[in-house]
């Protein structure tokens, strides 16, 4: 039995090598092209991003916000208008890409702040969209707050925990959105940001928690590419394949098996199709409806990061699970949820743990400061973004959330001048 298995392995290896000797002139150039393209694009994009003129805007919301997060949907739909078609020459030689925005919720020693970072040329767009929804808000340009901290963390005085945040399921499955936070009896909404601001408001001296969403609007073509999932959920097509490489390996596998075994022809069987309403359970119908609704909105490629750091004498690890627990409120087990990215999380085991941990900490600290979109990204719709980043309503009583006490107005036209 063992000799037979060894013989089959050798036979398959010889067949694979024979196939490679015939097609190497196709495979190797393609592989080198993919590698060169990735390295070149990283270079030109980083070079372009360093030349951009950016501005950081701090938004102080008005005191009495009576409407919920739905207002922010209009804000995201408005800034989605910056998406343009980029020509291949500009993309691959100049590094041009769709403009990005960074949404940042920070807790600094108990003080809560809301920031939006954008290119200077889009400042008026951001301000106009915010004032359209929150006329009494205050927007002011501020110095980048990350400059108040050491250039490299961790060091002898500061310690840090950080992680990128990713989705558990494919992008079209939505997270639990704001309309699901409504009380069934009173009809009022429990603001999903209330738990976050409560945690941020309890930070003591030398303690900081930063949450960042770097977003980039997507063209409508993204929606067309994802409609395959709708077909699968409606049981009108078979499940999607594992992608290009899975398909390629399947082809090679069939070629190799075909060279060593007699050819077999699959028989096509005709299946009777039932109406969709009889194929889906009530839960599957709800999932299909939610995915269809999510794909009907403007969408953004999103990079999400969480940092928990502080001075070593005050560094409190208990805030890590506490704050990450507030992200669990966006979980819908039938749809989607957030989780830490294991590749970026500052947690290592086994070999050289100290040096590897420091490397991960420095890396995520640098990427946060640069508003870098490297690494795993996912897609959020305007409704999902409005759920996770909006200005809390008047029901949020966290004392450290800044508010505008009174509406600003211009001086009377008939004011006497002496």
Contact criterion met (CB below 8 Å) for 332 and 180 = yes
Question: What pLDDT, on the 0 to 100 scale, is given for residue 23?
Answer: 75
> What is the band of 109 on the pLDDT scale with cuts at 50, 70, 90?
very high
Residue 171 pLDDT > 50: yes
- pLDDT: which is higher, 123 or 63: 123
Contact criterion met (CB below 8 Å) for 380 and 297 = no
How many angstroms separate the CA atoms of 176 and 11, rounded?
52
How many angstroms separate the CA atoms of 305 and 293, rounded?
26
Residue 65 pLDDT > 80: no
Q: Which of 301, 161, 176 is nearest to 226 (CA)?
A: 301
Write the CB contacts of 282 (distance below 8 Å, at least 6 apart in sequence): none
Residue 238 pLDDT > 60: no
What's the burial of 251, exposed, middle or buried (CB within 10 Å: 0-12/13-18/19+)? Answer: exposed
What's the burial of 318, exposed, middle or buried (CB within 10 Å: 0-12/13-18/19+)? Answer: exposed
pLDDT by residue (tens digit) across 277-300?
556 788 888 888 999 999 989 999
CA angle (154, 157, 163) in 5-degree steps: 30
pLDDT by residue (tens digit) across 299-323?
999 999 999 999 999 999 999 999 9
Over residues 248-254, the mean pLDDT reads: 59
Residue 46 pLDDT > 60: yes
Question: What pLDDT, on the 0 to 100 scale, is given for residue 12?
Answer: 77
Helix, strand or coil, per DSSP, at residue 158: strand
Q: Taking the domains of the chain in order of start, what are their residue ranges?
A: 1-51, 54-226+283-388
Over residues 43-67, the mean pLDDT reads: 79
Q: Could you tell me the two tokens for 174?
A: 């939505």
How many angstroms separate the CA atoms of 73 and 134, rounded?
13
Q: Which stretch of 103-112, 146-155, 267-276 has the lowest confidence by average pLDDT?
A: 267-276
Question: What pLDDT, on the 0 to 100 scale, is given for residue 53?
Answer: 87
Question: What pLDDT, on the 0 to 100 scale, is given for residue 138?
Answer: 94
Average pLDDT over the chain, rounded to an integer: 81
Q: Which stretch of 168-177, 185-194, 290-299, 340-349 has the lowest confidence by average pLDDT?
A: 185-194
Residue 416 pLDDT > 60: no
Of the chain, the percentage scoring pLDDT greater than 70 comes to 74
pLDDT by residue (tens digit) across 328-353?
999 999 999 999 999 999 988 888 88
Distances in Å between the Cα of 263 and the Cα atoms of 64, 247, 256, 259, 402 are 74, 20, 11, 9, 72
Question: What pLDDT, on the 0 to 100 scale, is given for residue 349?
Answer: 81
> What is the band of 371 on the pLDDT scale with cuts at 50, 70, 90?
very high
How many angstroms separate the CA atoms of 167 and 324, rounded?
14
């Amino acid at each position: 039995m063992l000799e037979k298995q060894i013989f089959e392995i050798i036979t398959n290896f010889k067949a694979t090598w024979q196939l490679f000797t015939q097609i190497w002139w196709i495979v190797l150039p393609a592989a080198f092209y993919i590698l060169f393209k990735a390295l070149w694009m990283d270079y030109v994009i980083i070079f372009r991003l360093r030349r951009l003129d950016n501005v950081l805007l701090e938004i102080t919301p008005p005191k009495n916000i009576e409407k919920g997060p739905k207002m922010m949907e209009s804000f995201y739909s408005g800034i989605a208008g910056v998406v343009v078609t980029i020509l291949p020459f500009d993309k691959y030689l100049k590094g041009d890409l769709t403009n990005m925005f960074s949404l940042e919720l920070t807790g600094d020693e108990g003080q809560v702040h809301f920031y939006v970072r954008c290119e200077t040329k889009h400042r008026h767009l951001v301000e106009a969209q915010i004032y359209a929804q929150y006329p009494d808000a205050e927007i002011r340009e501020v110095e980048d707050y990350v400059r108040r901290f050491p250039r490299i963390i961790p060091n002898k005085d500061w310690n840090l925990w950080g992680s990128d945040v990713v989705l558990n399921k494919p992008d079209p499955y939505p997270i639990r959105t704001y309309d699901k936070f409504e009380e069934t009896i009173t009809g009022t909404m429990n603001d999903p940001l209330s738990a976050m601001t409560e945690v941020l408001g309890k930070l003591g001296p030398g303690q900081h928690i930063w949450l960042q969403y770097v977003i980039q609007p997507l063209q409508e073509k993204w929606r067309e590419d994802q409609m395959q999932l709708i077909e699968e959920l409606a049981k009108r097509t078979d499940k999607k394949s594992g992608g290009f490489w899975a398909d390629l390996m399947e082809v090679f596998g069939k070629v190799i098996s075909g060279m060593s075994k007699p050819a077999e022809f699959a028989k096509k069987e005709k299946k009777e199709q039932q109406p969709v309403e009889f194929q889906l359970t009530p839960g599957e119908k709800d999932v299909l409806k939610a995915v269809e609704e999510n794909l009907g909105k403007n969408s953004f490629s999103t990079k999400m990061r969480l940092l928990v750091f502080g001075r070593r004498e005050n560094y409190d690890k208990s805030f890590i699970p506490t704050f990450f627990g507030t992200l669990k409120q966006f979980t819908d087990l039938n749809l989607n949820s957030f989780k830490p990215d294991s590749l970026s999380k500052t947690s290592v085991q086994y070999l050289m743990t100290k040096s590897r941990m420091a490397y991960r900490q420095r890396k995520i600290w640098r990427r946060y400061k640069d508003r870098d979109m490297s690494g795993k990204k996912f897609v959020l719709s305007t409704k999902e973004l409005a759920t996770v980043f909006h200005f809390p309503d008047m029901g949020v009583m966290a004392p450290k959330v800044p508010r505008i006490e009174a509406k600003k107005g211009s001086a009377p036209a008939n004011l006497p001048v002496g």
